[in-house]
Structure 1
Amino acid sequence: MHIHILGICGTFMGGVAALAREAGHRVTGCDAGVYPPMSDQLRALGIDLIEGYAADQLALKPDVFVIGNVVSRARLPDGTPKFPLMEAILDAGAPYISGPQWLSENVLQGRHVLAVAGTHGKTTTTSMLAWILEHAGRKPGFLVGGVPLNFGVSARLGSPAASAYGAARQGEAPLFVIEADEYDTAFFDKRSKFVHYRPRTAVLNNLEFDHADIFDDLAAIERQFHHLVRTVPASGRVVVNALEESLTRVLHAGCWSEVTTFGDAISDFGASGEPGDFDVLRRGQAVAHVKWDLSGVHNQLNALAAMAAAEHVGVSPAQAAEALSLFQNVKRRMELRGTVRNIAVYDDFAHHPTALRTTLDGLRRVVGKDARILAAFEPRSNTMKLGTMKSQLPWALESADQVFCHTAGLDWNASEALAPMGARAHVAGDIDTLVTQLMAEARPGDHIVCMSNGSFGGIHAKLLTALAQP
């Protein structure tokens, strides 16, 4: 089969491309500003990439066009289509399908799917779960919205899919771990992506308001999470964070599967000890111990969720804890990019206020109260650009000693939003000015955390270069 993917350089669609290529399909794709690291990964797999969405790509005549959710029917100010290739596909009546649906029909069938959903921690928890299963010798397939350092790739097929539909029910199906995103599927399918995955094991890590560009309120997201719960069979398991009232509401709307909780002292899975060194409790009894390099209560909770999901497919908490002691995290999750003049520079994917706070709180636990944390952040997600959560920023950033905000592209006043932080807050409309501000403030012993769900203008390399100057 020849598939041509529109929006191929996104982490999800790039993962779909890699899986399709591994399965033996011919894969081509296009994107605007074909960009690394996904472009490099895809070219290494022998996938031809085309810059832009020109209509002449229709001449490729693939068996099907796979449409990423970056594609829309939008028009430019002059009235021309933003995605002329999509218009040509529709005019020609050419076959097209969404990425999640193609994945469901061509990869996930015949497998025991373990899906990890949640506002925060999806990528890390999915990576933990895949590594636990790999360490246990189960050779899972996976698709992660990042690059787990234990694997070095964002997606792989794993063991061949079972040929019989009944294999999953009988416990014989190969395993596939997938990051289950609640964002919509495509411009022609406004359901959340995860509704297509039909998991037998579903992790509901947490749930709060996000994606203000497509959801009106928290209730709308809860409804999508309940749609996911509806697809889990009675023999399946729903792993739920017991600390989240929103998830309690989701389950109260109806649940037809076994429920396993994690998070607090009375949960099925709990923890005793610091996030970097803790006992794992199974209904209050210590059954395993985790000692690792990760920090933050959020990662402790991610670990419990992954262990509860792994148990459902026969991996004991003790086996899982052993695997987690060797877990290397994910690229761009508190990734140390370098240390110059005893000043450490980190890269982190945090962009939602809660994620900003948990990232900084986790670092504070590690470095102690006397070390200084300089937080540089870019409100880049659609939700943050809209300013929906700007009032939460002082709360999110309070663990930092100094805060530096990149304001390019914002329709709201970042200085006003950060005013409660007083002289600790700095704003800049371009990256070079932000670097200059940081350099004026940084001193030996500091920890600089750069937080964005984009490239942040290469600020990490610019900081390290500036710090290396005499």
Structure 2
Amino acid sequence: MKKYHFIAIGGAVMHNLALALLAKGYQVTGSDDEIYEPSRTRLKDKGILPEGYGWFPEKITKDLDGIILGMHARIDNPELIKARGLGIPVFSFPEFIYNQSRDKKRVVIAGSHGKTSITSIILHVLKDQEVDFDYLVGAQIEGFDLMVRLSDAPIIIIEGDEYLTSPLDRRPKFFHYKHDIALLSGIAWDHFNVFPDFDEYKDQFRQLIELTPESGELIYCEADPLVLEAVEKSNLVGKKSPYKAHLARIEEGKTKLLSPKGEIPIFLFGQHNLQNLQGAKQICESIGLTEDQFYDSIRSFKGAAKRLELIKSKNDRALYRDFAHAPSKLKATAKAVKEQFPDRKLIAVQELHTYSSLNKEFLPNYAGTMDSADVAIIYLNPHAVALKKLELMDEETLRNGFERPDLKLFTDSHALKSYLNSLNYSNSNLLLMSSGNYDNMDLEEIKAKFD
């Protein structure tokens, strides 16, 4: 039985990988200095929740087959130091995923936005069509217990992001997967703390493109000018397959695909999601599914968690939640809701939570991103700002940055909750966007307004 130890086991992908290896019959241990829900309960239920928080070098023993190192760990982590001293192999999770899938066809979904949605669509269609496959995805998806599966399947679908691999490896994760097929959905500046120079950020995607083997394929969104630029600047030797948004029409708040099979009703909506859907369709066809199989399965796809997720609705109103935080995601999400329901007032709330979004120097990238909203609200958590050692921006600064003179700023979640509870949602949609949780704001009273 193989035995692996996870340093920083509590992360979203890390704890899912730990559970996947446990399901594969491996012995798994781990450590972390903080573990939040749902990771904590899921690890506890399987008997691998660390007994205490912190780092314990005594857990690192010579009989380990390897260490899996999370990005949350520091380079001076005492467990890592001991493991390296003992000569135990240390893998980042991207390296480990490649190590476990080197004999499979590897499909990598990349881009500044849309990765999780595209990967989720592909996973749903493959499962619905009873295809045997492995996967790594960045969100919980309906019908899948884990975000990771590793088995003897001949193919793996990987959501590959451009963020740093580990404390020991400052390269993007997606370099490690050595794809056979890659999809590039879009390029829009993100991760300002890691890539303060936009040209450097864009160059990571050019390098990814050039990793496509001669026998491989790059599927890319030709509607994105920066993707086109990256493809044109690259020395790509594999097959090039462009895509753009699937044709569709909106009728009474419902989207219907226009296909050779006629009109197909779907749960997804928004131009960005029609691009995501078309990219997923071309991946599915590239790995052997037919167009008819894709159309048969896409009808039942309801979306990934926190990706334009419908929380509550009734006749004249709806409450949506989305992970949007980067400028391109915020703009596309707000625009999608407004275009789907043009006659309803759109109340959009954005929590600025990431280092990039809280950085005053990055703020100009948000200009115009809330233009689709009738009411534009920003929430900032002063504690989160302080932890990142940044300046707390005031309302005037944000209004100038977003180019919205009527923008409202809240820095207290209780005040925000009171304001949202005071609103009349008749003929309105409320869109909550954040990669955080509004400082654990309780949404039950707000949800009740949509019953």
TM-score category, normalised to shorter length = 0.7 to 0.9
Q: 2:215 aligns with which of 225, 235, 239?
A: 235
The answer as to whether partners of 1:241 and 1:261 remain within 8 angstroms in 2 is yes
- Structure 2 residue aligned with 1:143: 136
Q: Residue 382 of structure 1 corresponds to which residue in structure 2?
A: 355
Tell me which residue corresponds to 1:102. Answer: 96
Q: Alpha carbons of 1:277 and 1:91: their partners in 2 closer, same or farther (altered >3 Å)?
A: same
Matches within 5 A, 1:34-183: 34-56=35-57, 58-59=59-60, 62-73=64-75, 83-90=77-84, 94-105=88-99, 107-157=100-150, 160-161=152-153, 174-183=154-163
Q: Does 1:323 align with 2:297?
A: yes
Distance 1:391 1:308, change over 3 A: same
- Contact map agreement 2:425 2:449 (CA 8 A) in 1: no
**2:270 aligned with 1:291, yes or no?**
no
In structure 2, what residue type is equivalent to 1:418? R
SS at match of 2:352: coil
Q: Residue by residue, what CA displacement relative to the aligned partner does 1:61-97 show, whole Å, maximum 9, x if unpaired?
A: 6432211112224xxxxxxx6x444445456655422
Q: Percent identity?
A: 23
Scaled by the length of structure 2, the TM-score of the pair is: 0.88
Aligned to 2:274: 300
Amino acid at match of 2:302: Q
Contact 1:347 1:460 in 2 (8 A): no
1:288 offset after TM fit, Å? 7.1
Closer, same or farther in 2 for the Cα pair 1:155/1:389, shift >3 Å?
Answer: same
1:260 equivalent in alignment to 2:234: no
Aligned mates of 2:301, 2:58 — CA distance in 1: 42
Cα shift at 1:114: 1.2
Structure 2 counterparts to residues 384-463 of structure 1, below 5 A: 384-408=357-381, 409-410=384-385, 411-415=391-395, 416-419=397-400, 420-423=403-406, 425-459=407-441, 461-463=443-445
For 1:147 and 1:278, the matched residues in 2 are separated by: 25
Is 1:202 the equivalent of 2:161?
no
CA distance in 1, matches of 2:279, 2:30: 35
Aligned amino acid, residue 298 of structure 2: L
Is residue 122–residue 205 contact of structure 1 (8 Å, CA) maintained in 2? yes
C-alpha contact 1:115 1:203 (8 A) present in aligned 2: yes
1:222 aligns with 2:202: yes
Describe the SS at the equivalent of 1:15: helix
* Two-structure CA RMSD over aligned residues (Å): 2.7
Distance 1:357 1:140 in 2: 34
> Alpha-carbon deviation of 1:462?
5.0
Query: Does structure 1 retain, via aligned residues, the 8 Å contact 2:31–2:55?
Result: no
Letter in 2 for 1:70: H
Could you tell me how far apart the structure 1 residues matched to 2:264 and 2:450 are? Answer: 37
Task: With the length of structure 1 as denominator, give the TM-score of the two structures.
Answer: 0.85
Are the aligned partners of 2:109 and 2:182 in contact in 1 as well (CA < 8 Å)? yes
Shift of 1:331: 1.1
Instruction: State yes or no: 1:27 paired with 2:28.
Output: yes
Judge conservation of contact 2:257–2:266 (CA < 8 Å) in 1. Answer: no
CA distance in 2, matches of 1:397, 1:215: 24
Does structure 2 retain, via aligned residues, the 8 Å contact 1:391–1:417? no
Q: Does 1:336 align with 2:322?
A: no
Distance in 1 (alpha carbons) for counterparts of 2:318 and 2:186: 30
CA distance in 2, matches of 1:433, 1:87: 46
Deviation at 1:48, TM superposition (A): 2.8
Segments of structure 2 that go 5 or more residues without pairing to the other structure are 386-390
Amino acid at match of 2:266: W
Aligned position for 2:247: 271
Map of 1:17 onto structure 2: 18
Residue 348 of structure 1 deviates from its aligned partner by: 1.1
Deviation per CA, 1:287-307: give whole Å up to 9, x if none: 775420111001100010001
How many Å apart are 1:459 and its aligned residue? 2.7
Q: Specify the SS of the correspondent of 2:288.
A: coil
**Is contact 1:332–1:349 with CA below 8 Å preserved after alignment?**
yes
After TM superposition, give the deviation of residue 373 of structure 1 in Å. Answer: 1.8
